[in-house]
Each structure stands twice: as C-alpha cells, then as structure tokens.
Chains A and B, each alone.
Chain A
C-alpha cells in the first residue's frame, strides 16, 4: 500500500512537470511507413519532454493529411510530407498562407528511382543502365513493376516509359494495385533470388533490408522531370529522379501559437544515411519504430540536441550529456 501511494505521488509530481513549459495541445501526423514513424515519434518525444506539449499523434497518409488541413486546419504538424505526392491542394494552401513549410526533414531528400537487386547487377552489370534493361528484358524478369494508380510516381513513370520507349524490347509494364503488392513482389523476388525491376524509394525499411542497385535512367533535368509530373504530356522527356523534397509543414495558426516548437521542427532534419541506418537497425533487431526512435535519441544526442532551444536542452540534459 505504501508503494502504491508512492507511485501515486510520483505521478502527481510528474504531471505538473509536463505542464510547466508553455505549450498546449499539438496534433502531428504519423504516415504509415517506417521512416515517417521514426520522425513522428522523435518529434513527439521532443515536444512532450522538451517543450511540455500535449501531443496527439494522428495516423494518416499524405493526401488525407493535406485534405484534412485544407478542410479543418488540423492536424497542426504534417511531417515527412513528400511534396511530389501531394496534389495541387498543397500549393493552393501555401498560396493562401494557411500552411507553412518549415524545412526539409530528410537531407538531401527522398531517393526515388528504378531498382534491380544487387545480385542481379553483379551477375549482369549491363542492367544498371536503362538501355541495358531495354535490350535484355528477359534478364530482369520481363516486367517493370510500376506504381499503383493515383500515386505521383505513376504519372512520372508512365511519361518516362513513353519517352524511353521502355516496352520496345518486349518488357511488360505491370501496374500494381497498391504499395503493399509492389513491396511484396520485391520481397518475394528476393526470397527466391529471382530478377526484379521496378520503382521504389528510400529511405524505406524495404530498401534498408534488401540490397538494391539504382538503374541509371539518364541525367537529371529538373525541368524535364517537372514536365513529366503532368499526366499524359505531349512531350515526355528523359530525366532521372532528382532528390524528392520531403518536408515538415505546419499550419500558419500553429506557427503563430507555438513559435518555439515550430522553430525546433524547422531544424529537425535527418540525413538519409542516418535514417537508412535506423531502418536497418530496426530490421536487424526486429524492433518497432518506437524502439528505433529510442535508439536514435539515446545514441545520437549530438544530432537532435542542436534542434532544441536552451530551455528544452536543459529539460533533456539527462539524455544529452
């Protein structure tokens, strides 16, 4: 009974601790993939423990999150937002001044591209360029694994396929119904050590787990790539995927309400290599995204302590050391 009371006392002491800092309720999105879960969990941890916010994590996805901001001005923080996957709605919101981009959450950005497994590239080095793939469709399994309908990359891929005349050598384009089947087809090919050729992106748990080699499509030309982003353009061009901007954005209201937190979020940046390392660690240890976050917070305090202001750094000093 005494212990029970002691527990209650600790709870009573720690509750005002959270309220001590001047921060109210914050809602933040959690996208449904590994790296975004780590980003969100890290941000939530820092906001709760460093800034005393009352954080509500909202499981979401890119388009629904933006739609929600457009309609309800909620959630306050949208992070790991892949700009290329948002529709025009995002730009409209920015033009109206309702959403503000704070900064890139991944540095230099998301890596998109067409990939083949490492074992295939070692066996047939000619397959690391798209010309080699077009000339030898049988070696990559005769199939290009394309994005599902409705994804931003689907439009770009469809234009690239036309510009490159990808199917001229007999390669078949298979459009997946969902990201899940796209991922599983890659995993299944790896388990059988079979050829695979298709679109994927990093940092993802899958590319952390499976060793893939990027197929060279051509030089990067921002203008051509931007043009390829429009459905059914008349003049599709050949350009590799430039690093994709991946942002943390907040509503304008939130930035006015919590400038200190917004300042921290604007500095929150993960290098892609760090993120890939975390995802690989997660896979090796069969860990959850939350545990990977804890791993990041405990092993790399030098990275995240730079994001904080002095008050928050003092509150989290036990971890920084």
Chain B
C-alpha cells in the first residue's frame, strides 16, 4: 500500500494502472532495502508527515502505468539522438568558419617566429593604447612568460582568446543594438543571456560532440563564445539606452534618418559602455580557458589540467598565474583604450 494507491482507485483508473504492471519493474530503492534488512517486510501505512511529494516516481509506485522521471531523461536523450543528424546538417556548415579561424590563428602563432609575434603584439598595444607604460608592461609580461618556456602555450591561449573575443564583438554588438531598439527582443533575450552564463558548459558541449567531430576546434570556440558574449551584448544594449533622450530628440530635429542617428549619435555616445563590454568579454573568455582545454583546446589550460591531475602543483600554479598575467595585460590594454575613447569624447 503506497500513499497514492487510493487516489488512483478512487479515480477509477486501477484497470489502466495495472495494464502497465507487467511492462516495468521498478528497481528497489536503498531505503526499501534498508527497511528489508531490518526485517520490516510490511511497509507500514505512511503517516502524513512522511508522505512523499506526488512526483512521477511516487505516483508510479502506486500506478505502474504512470511514467517515471527516468523516462523523461531517457526520452530527452532519444529525442536528441533522433534529431541530431538534421541538427548536424544545419549547424555544421554554420559553425565551420569558427573552426577555420581557430585553426588559422593557431597555426599562425605557431609558424611566426617569437620576435615577430612579440613585435606585432607590442605594435598592436601601441596602436590601441598609445601609452609607453602599457607597452612596457606587455613586453615585460610576455618576456617573462617566454623566459620560463611558456611562450608557445601563452600564444595559443592568446590566439584562441583573440578569435573568440572578435567573434563575440562581431555578433554581440549588433545583437545589443537590436535589443536596445526593440523591447520585445530584449525581453526575449535576457533569460537567454542569463542561461548562457549559468548553464554548465559540459551540458551542451557533450551533445555537440555527437554533432561534430571531437577534433574540431569549434567545440571549445562555441563554449567560450556562448559564455563570453553576454557582457558585450548587455553593455551595448545598456549603453544605447543610456544615451540621453534630448540628444536623440535633437538628432530627430535635424531630420536624421534612423541609420544616421544610430551610427552618428547613439553608437558613438554608447562607445564607453561598449568598450567596457568588450573588456569584460575578453576577461570572461580567459575564464573559460581551462574548461576549453577539457574539450581539447591547446594552451595554458592544458598545463593547468596536467598540474591538477598529476599533483604537479608547481606546473598548475605557474600556468594558472600565466593566465592571470594574460588577463592583466588584456585588461590594462583595453582599459587604457577605453580611457582614450572617453578622453576623445570630452574634447
């Protein structure tokens, strides 16, 4: 006698319930086993205090024709396996450029000699930041990493971050602009963005392996982008919404078209916020480096994993601190660039 047997009896569903009886045998649970070990063969009438929530499993115990919760997870799995071929046809070509970009970037940093690579990065730093101090910081940090033979790993990580952050900006800024212009899209997108930041990456990465080959770099590319795109979308949206209505009114008064208003007024005024979003996006891609290495991304993440798995504490610490150094570099460079944008606006 289980707590919900009476419920099904009184609803006249007993015949339907028992029709499912021969189809399934519910495995014994640990609590039932412990009760049996203590010699409590008869399940006592369950008191109100102990009545279980009418979950699928509890109802199934009273009525074998009811599905169990495990049928839900199995159904989901079967459903995914059934549609995976169709999904692969759509998603595979769509994401192929990502694999191509990551492969090119990785073989690029691999092929270029160190002095060329570091020189280019210093030039790039000067180009964005225009600050001798920041260039010196970058030179010192990269030199330091190279000095302890972490140059290759650091460059691989940087290459992955650059590609992913670039795609995040490429997709995230237009999405943020669209969200700023349509309240309905914004309402739809906010839960999606929340989900992207909280859903454990492996939950969607493992199904992706069923769609693409494990050797594809896009697997970790997708993981990084889905996680890191959120701040740039949010801050672009926010930045454009924060543009003062008077300014937009003035633009209207000048008879500007929507497009002129967007590119001539709203985006330039929102630039500090967008840049802050880019900065956060880069930081978040770095946070994903270790997770990406779990799906075979090269770089410092591999060393962190090796350190953890082999108890080579030093290897793990040095690689982890290497990631921190890269984070500080990227943060300082983008922050100084942001200050330049702000300063230019005030003039």
A63 touching B214, Cβ below 8 Å: no
| Bound Cα distance from A149 to B309, whole angstroms | 8
- Residue interface bits A181-194, CB-to-B below 8 A is 1, else 0: 10011011001000
In the complex, how many angstroms separate the beta carbon of A110 from the nearest chain B beta carbon?
Answer: 18
Q: Quick one: which of A150-201 are within 8 Å of B by CB?
A: 150-151, 174-178, 180-181, 184-185, 187-188, 191
- A223 at interface, CB cutoff 8 A: no
| Bound Cα distance from A298 to B36, whole angstroms | 10
| Bound Cα distance from A17 to B294, whole angstroms | 47
The interface stretch among B41-49, B112-120, B124-132 is B41-49
A295 touching B294, Cβ below 8 Å: no
- Residue interface bits B32-44, CB-to-A below 8 A is 1, else 0: 1110111101001
| Bound Cα distance from A212 to B222, whole angstroms | 31
| Bound Cα distance from A149 to B307, whole angstroms | 9
A294 touching B28, Cβ below 8 Å: yes
Q: Count residues of chain A with CB under 8 A from any CB of chain B.
A: 49
A49/B214 contact (C-beta < 8 A), A63-B310, A150-B306, A150-B310 known: no
B308 touching A150, Cβ below 8 Å: yes
| CB closest residue in chain A, given B30 | A290
Q: Which of A177, A181, A191, A286 contacts B302 (CB 8 A)?
A: A177
Q: Which of B39, B206, B306 contacts A180 (CB 8 A)?
A: B206
- B199 at interface, CB cutoff 8 A: no
- A269 at interface, CB cutoff 8 A: no
| Bound Cα distance from A63 to B311, whole angstroms | 7
Q: Quick one: which of A277-315 are within 8 Å of B by CB?
A: 285-287, 290-295, 297-298, 315
Q: Which of A4, A181, A318 contacts B209 (CB 8 A)?
A: A181
| Bound Cα distance from A4 to B44, whole angstroms | 12
Q: Which of A4, A87, A315 contacts B310 (CB 8 A)?
A: A87
- Residue interface bits A51-95, CB-to-B below 8 A is 1, else 0: 000000000000100110000000000000000000101000000
- A12 at interface, CB cutoff 8 A: no
A14/B306 contact (C-beta < 8 A), A191-B84, A291-B28 known: no
Which of A143, A150, A298 is the most central at the interface, judged by chain B CB atoms within 10 Å of its CB?
A: A150
Q: Which of B39, B49, B292, B297 contacts A7 (CB 8 A)?
A: B49
Q: A318: which B residues are within 8 A, CB to CB?
A: 36-39, 41
In the complex, how many angstroms separate the beta carbon of B238 from the nearest chain A beta carbon?
Answer: 35
- B329 at interface, CB cutoff 8 A: no
A148/B48 contact (C-beta < 8 A), A177-B297, A178-B294, A319-B37 known: no
In the complex, how many angstroms separate the beta carbon of A186 from the nearest chain B beta carbon?
Answer: 10
B28 touching A286, Cβ below 8 Å: no
| CB closest residue in chain A, given B74 | A286
- B305 at interface, CB cutoff 8 A: yes
Q: Count residues of chain B with CB under 8 A from any CB of chain A.
A: 45
**SS class of chain A's interface: helix, strand, loop or mixed?**
helix
Q: B36: which A residues are within 8 A, CB to CB?
A: 298, 318-319
B48 touching A17, Cβ below 8 Å: no
In the complex, how many angstroms separate the beta carbon of A167 from the nearest chain B beta carbon?
Answer: 15
Q: A178: which B residues are within 8 A, CB to CB?
A: 294-295, 305
- A111 at interface, CB cutoff 8 A: no
| Bound Cα distance from A316 to B39, whole angstroms | 9
In the complex, how many angstroms separate the beta carbon of A228 from the nearest chain B beta carbon?
Answer: 17
| Bound Cα distance from A137 to B84, whole angstroms | 27
In the complex, how many angstroms separate the beta carbon of A191 from the nearest chain B beta carbon?
Answer: 6
A188 touching B209, Cβ below 8 Å: yes
A45/B30 contact (C-beta < 8 A), A174-B214, A316-B37 known: yes
A45 touching B209, Cβ below 8 Å: no
Q: Quick one: which of B70-88 are within 8 Å of A by CB?
A: 70-71, 73-74, 81, 84
| Bound Cα distance from A286 to B73, whole angstroms | 9
Q: Which residues of B contact A (CB under 8 A)?
A: 27-30, 32-34, 36-39, 41, 44-50, 70-71, 73-74, 81, 84, 202, 206, 209-210, 214-215, 292-297, 302, 305-311
What 13 new A-B contacts, CB under 8 Å, besides A178-B294, A298-B28?
A10-B44, A45-B34, A48-B34, A49-B38, A63-B309, A143-B215, A149-B306, A181-B214, A181-B294, A185-B214, A286-B70, A294-B32, A318-B37
**A-B contact list, 15 entries, CB within 8 Å:** A3-B49, A6-B47, A7-B47, A45-B33, A49-B37, A63-B308, A87-B310, A149-B309, A175-B296, A181-B294, A184-B209, A185-B209, A286-B71, A293-B30, A294-B29
